[in-house]
Chain A
Amino acid sequence: MFIVVLSLIELEINMIRDITIGQYYQTESVIHKLDSRVKIIATLVYIISLFCFNNFSGYILAALFFLCIVKLSKVPFKFIVKGLKPIMFMLIFTAALNLLWTPGEHILFEAGVIVITLEGIKKMAFMALRLIFLIIGSSLMTLTTTPNQLTDAIEHLLRLLNYIKVPVHEVAMMMSIALRFIPILIEETDKIMKAQLARGADFESGNIIHRIKSMIPILIPLFVSAARRANDLALAMDSRCYHGGRGRTKMKPLKYKSCDFIAYFILLCYIVLLIIIRKFVPF
Chain B
Amino acid sequence: MKPFIIAKDLVHEYSRRDEDGNVTDIKRALDGIDMEVSAGDFIAVLGANGSGKSTFAKHLNALLTPTEGTLLVDGMDTSDHDNDLDVRCVAGMVFQNPDNQIISNVVEEDVGFGPENMGVPTEKIWERVEESLKNVGMYKYRKMSPNHLSGGQKQRVAIAGVMAMRPKCIILDEPTAMLDPVGRRAVIDTVTELNKKENITVILITHYMEEVTGADYVFVMNDGKVSMQGTPRQIFARSEELKEYRLTIPEVTKIALHLRKMGIELPKDILNEEELVKALIELKNF
Residues of A within 8 A of B (CB): 17, 20, 146-148, 176-177, 179-180, 183-184, 229, 232-233, 235-243, 247-253
Closest residue to A255 on the B side, CB-wise? B122
Please tell me if the beta carbons of A241 and B125 are within 8 angstroms of each other in the complex: no
How far, in angstroms, from A247 to B121 measured CA to CA in the complex?
11
Please tell me if the beta carbons of A249 and B120 are within 8 angstroms of each other in the complex: yes
Of B105-113, B216-224, B238-246, B275-283, the segment with at least 4 beta carbons within 8 Å of chain A is B105-113
The number of chain B residues touching the other chain, given as a range, is: 35 or more
Partner of A180, one of B88, B102, B115, B122: B102
In addition to A241-B117, A251-B125, 12 A-B residue pairs with Cβ atoms within 8 Å of each other are: A148-B106, A148-B109, A176-B104, A229-B97, A229-B99, A232-B101, A235-B58, A236-B101, A239-B92, A239-B95, A240-B92, A248-B119
How far, in angstroms, from A146 to B103 measured CA to CA in the complex?
16
Q: Does B73 contact A (CB under 8 A)?
A: no
Within 8 Å CB of B101, what residues of A?
232-233, 236
Q: Does B114 contact A (CB under 8 A)?
A: yes
Within 8 Å CB of B125, what residues of A?
249, 251
Min C-beta distance of A35 to chain B, whole Å = 16
Within 8 Å CB of B89, what residues of A?
241
Q: Does B129 contact A (CB under 8 A)?
A: yes
How far, in angstroms, from A217 to B95 measured CA to CA in the complex?
29
Please tell me if the beta carbons of A238 and B104 are within 8 angstroms of each other in the complex: no
Tell me which residues from 141 to 178 in chain B have a Cβ below 8 Å from any Cβ of chain A: 145-147, 161-162, 165
Within 8 Å CB of B109, what residues of A?
148, 251-252
The 6 closest A-B pairs by CB, nearest first: A236-B101, A232-B100, A251-B112, A241-B117, A240-B114, A239-B93
Please tell me if the beta carbons of B147 and A183 are within 8 angstroms of each other in the complex: yes
Q: Does B259 contact A (CB under 8 A)?
A: no
Q: Does B126 contact A (CB under 8 A)?
A: yes
Q: Does B61 contact A (CB under 8 A)?
A: yes
